[in-house]
Structure 1
């Protein structure tokens, strides 16, 4: 079997047999996307909650010499989950390319919900000693492996369900992605406001994790009816019918699109580093280093999440009016100067924190809405699960998972000015690599 040949055209659209685009088929598309996206929202709810509540988790399971050191210990475990994302992405991406999307999507959300429930009910370090921290670490590893395939494959799945409207799919799924991130601080804010700071530190932080585990049952029920998008069989060169794409063919395809894989590492990594700075880095700095009132910090995070959630729904209506590649270049170039807003939050205060987080939210909105669809567009369907799992996992592990820790650590040693330079450089590299990969290999979804 020979490697796939390079195409002569820089832009190639995948063709899929679809029903007539009427109101009925659109409702059918929306139902399928909802079942898929509900699990996506739950994944991000569980994932964001750990970073958002890192101060309490650190005190409960990883006590240190000071609140700041306990927070850093917790953020280190938060980063470990990212390290295992490439493993989940590659292993289960290959399963998705050979066996099918549906079974992988059901398994990933089930595992993540179960791990969240374990963290929510686990006794603290005071009761279990070092074993408490080890169990939390293992649960984060499990969630890292699961999320390593959920994040990239769910977008690929959505684009294959509704291939003619990539902008709509990107916006629709980003709405639920952001909804998960919104429900995380909203739940934390509600618990903190109702219980108070003392009770929140003692047991209130457990409520969001238990809720995430319980909601997993509902999501599993919704995903059971999703259709399979991977073709059941392909005709081999000698006329025989293969049941699924062979493993060796998948890896040859990934090797052929090596530049696209590297581009995805930075396309994903740069915006994830930016995202987690806003999502968990700034809130952790505010509560851990500057001693801000946690209820006020959660309120700011919740407000930002509302902007991102509703904004994604608006973008779903207009993104298809312009090529995804053009949206990407505009959004990513704007992110380069915007990241320097973090330098304005260096002396504490809820006002400056709100100004920085909300000021950067619009640029973050555009980038978060389209980044996954843009990355998926660089690969053909038969290798998309494996290639995206690899590129996405490596990008998030190298740059996204370490961003919160690096941001807080640089601030603690008085070198906070280095962080925005680092993120801006990642964004610039992602633009260059995307343009090169698009020119060499073309795109398969949205031009």
Structure 2
């Protein structure tokens, strides 16, 4: 955390509005580091998709193996709505902290096991089946992560700084992607592409084990959010929060799904699709592809807190609309810039697209939490978030690769990103501004 951000965080801790504010730094760090571990684990698969395709599917065309690998990537997202339904409802009934501890255990365990799996050349189709199963467990657990972390931090944050504090969730998430991409870059540089493809790819997955224990320790040593504790003390927790969300919060669910469309597509385009796209389609070396992606994701992580601050100052809608408009107008030109074939152009393109997702994320996390009342906040966000991510985000790498194969146009994935941005743009236009308002009780 830089000096100016630390000063901003310290000044916010002096706010007397929320009795939980003195604990906010600890809550922010513990929640954020846990989120870092969760998305480091989940994102590794996407970063290493090209290598995984070669290891777990029958030898053949690299593009076919990549499509197969992305299909398994999408299979994990199929489980996310189920995980969201289960963990979201549980989080509204028994508390946010216990559920967040559970999901980090499941994800880290599945990721660690992925590093131990035999390959297709060793056990044939059994390797593919085991890969799918571990990915399904990852997806089920991930269904309770982002919505839970968002709910937990939003319920601790002071009203006038909620955008700034909650957007750190996205900062830690992108830093996890940076760490994963950076680790793969360093391993590829030190081991060489041949060794990395042969056995070095296992190392990042095996690191998930000890990282998971760190995240679990931090999450189990927090108190639950004051909003939930107050609700539980008064006996107002919902006996069936899932049913309540589905029957009483249709408008909030609709807006939350719409918000998440470009968030999901933008995230997984930049984090998962780009490394393979740069190396397979645009013929950058794997080393250069990982470097370009790492630089872009790091820049996003740096920009997000500033965008969260702006969302508190100017509102959620202006930032979200600006991010959507940027994707609609500049995704195609950015992909053309990447195709020039030099690293500087590719980095510039990644930074351009990164600025748009940073603007959107800086406002969106708080905006989602502000849609729902406390009794159904975890479950409501879980349902909407994971349905949108599964339907739009999970298919992003596969569908982008399919578009190129079907059309023969290397820039055709831009159409999908632009369409997703248009859906969210229209949704945000119809939404009410919620910045500066207390959370619904």
Superposition TM-score, scaled by structure 1 size: 0.87
Q: Secondary structure at the match of 2:192?
A: helix
Contact 1:380 1:444 (C-alpha < 8 Å) held by counterparts:
no
2:294 equivalent to 1:297: no
Aligned to 1:114: 109
Counterpart Cα distance in 2 of 1:338 and 1:373: 26
Number of corresponding residues: 423
**Cα pair distance change 1:434/1:90, threshold 3 Å:** farther
Counterpart Cα distance in 2 of 1:372 and 1:167: 7
**1:196-248 deviation digits (Å, cap 9, x = unpaired):** 1111111111111111222111111111121112535759xxxx96473110x
Aligned to 2:4: none
2:40 equivalent to 1:48: no
**Cα pair distance change 1:443/1:326, threshold 3 Å:** farther
Q: Report the Cα offset of residue 75 of structure 1.
A: 0.7
Contact 2:319 2:362 (C-alpha < 8 Å) held by counterparts:
no
2:338 equivalent to 1:327: no
**Cα pair distance change 1:243/1:26, threshold 3 Å:** closer
Aligned to 1:312: 304
Aligned to 1:8: none
Contact 1:46 1:112 (C-alpha < 8 Å) held by counterparts:
yes
Q: Secondary structure at the match of 1:255?
A: helix
Counterpart Cα distance in 1 of 2:346 and 2:201: 22
**Cα pair distance change 1:330/1:347, threshold 3 Å:** closer
**1:237-295 deviation digits (Å, cap 9, x = unpaired):** xxx96473110x65234322212212222211222112211212121122233442111
> 405-414 vs 74-83, which deviates more?
405-414
Q: Report the Cα offset of residue 82 of structure 1.
A: 1.0
- Give RMSD over aligned pairs: 2.7
Contact 1:264 1:434 (C-alpha < 8 Å) held by counterparts:
no
**Cα pair distance change 1:419/1:114, threshold 3 Å:** same
**Cα pair distance change 1:331/1:86, threshold 3 Å:** same
2:63 equivalent to 1:71: no
- Map residues 102-141 of structure 1 onto 2, 5 A cutoff: 102-141=97-136
Aligned to 1:99: 94
Q: Secondary structure at the match of 1:123?
A: coil
Aligned to 1:4: none
2:280 equivalent to 1:288: yes
**1:148-204 deviation digits (Å, cap 9, x = unpaired):** 110112111100011422122133222211110110111001101110111111111
Aligned to 1:245: 238
Aligned to 2:201: 205
**1:41-97 deviation digits (Å, cap 9, x = unpaired):** 111111221111011111111234211111111111001111111111111100011
Contact 1:108 1:150 (C-alpha < 8 Å) held by counterparts:
yes
Q: Report the Cα offset of residue 128 of structure 1.
A: 2.2
2:423 equivalent to 1:419: no
Gaps of at least 5 residues in structure 1 are: 1-17
- Residue number among 223, 226, 234 corresponding to 1:227 in the alignment: 223
**1:379-415 deviation digits (Å, cap 9, x = unpaired):** 1111111111111111001111111111122123314
**Cα pair distance change 1:434/1:312, threshold 3 Å:** closer
Q: Secondary structure at the match of 1:136?
A: helix
**Cα pair distance change 1:95/1:120, threshold 3 Å:** same
2:177 equivalent to 1:185: no
Aligned to 2:8: none
Contact 1:274 1:339 (C-alpha < 8 Å) held by counterparts:
no
Contact 1:90 1:386 (C-alpha < 8 Å) held by counterparts:
yes
2:271 equivalent to 1:276: no
**Cα pair distance change 1:435/1:324, threshold 3 Å:** same
Gaps of at least 5 residues in structure 2 are: 1-12
Q: Report the Cα offset of residue 355 of structure 1.
A: 3.3
**Cα pair distance change 1:289/1:272, threshold 3 Å:** same
Q: Report the Cα offset of residue 311 of structure 1.
A: 1.7
2:400 equivalent to 1:407: yes
Q: Secondary structure at the match of 2:372?
A: coil
Q: Report the Cα offset of residue 421 of structure 1.
A: 2.9
Higher relative contact order (CA 8 A, sep 6+): 1
Counterpart Cα distance in 2 of 1:304 and 1:383: 35
Superposition TM-score, scaled by structure 2 size: 0.88
